[in-house]
Amino acid sequence: MKTQLLSGVQIARRLGIGPKTLYRWSQSGVFPPPLRLGRRGRVLRWTVEEVEAFLQGCRQEKPADHSGGQRSRHRAGAKG
């Protein structure tokens, strides 16, 4: 069975972020480092398993949001 590899653009779309953000996350250790392919190692790819493990970790670490998805529209000190 072959390991499926994803490009940075594919992963960024899936995460709803820009490719540059994904590369910065990878460099800073937030996201797993890529596999470097090609003669000069300039082609970067991630395995599907790595991406899924990252997403699973995010789901476990995400704090509970009790706001119901809505922000308060009232500012401190504002009348009305």
Q: How far apart are CA 71 and CA 50, in angstroms?
A: 34
What is the value of pTM for the model shown? 0.70
User: Which among 3, 24, 22 has a CA at the least distance from the CA of 14?
Assistant: 22
Residue 69's alpha-carbon distances to 53, 62, 65, in angstroms, are 26, 14, 8
pLDDT at 60: 82
Confidence label for 2 from pLDDT (cuts 50, 70 and 90): confident
Place of tokens 């398993």: 49
Q: Reply yes or no on whether the pLDDT at 80 is more than 70.
A: no
- Tens of pLDDT, residues 9-24: 999 999 999 999 999 9
Kindly tell me the number of DSSP H helices and DSSP E strands found in the chain. 3, 3
Show the DSSP H helices in 1-80 as ranges.
Answer: 8-15, 19-28, 48-61
Confidence label for 75 from pLDDT (cuts 50, 70 and 90): low
* 67 vs 40 pLDDT, higher one: 40
Q: Where along the chain do its domains lie?
A: 5-59
Say which CATH class 5-59 falls into: mainly alpha
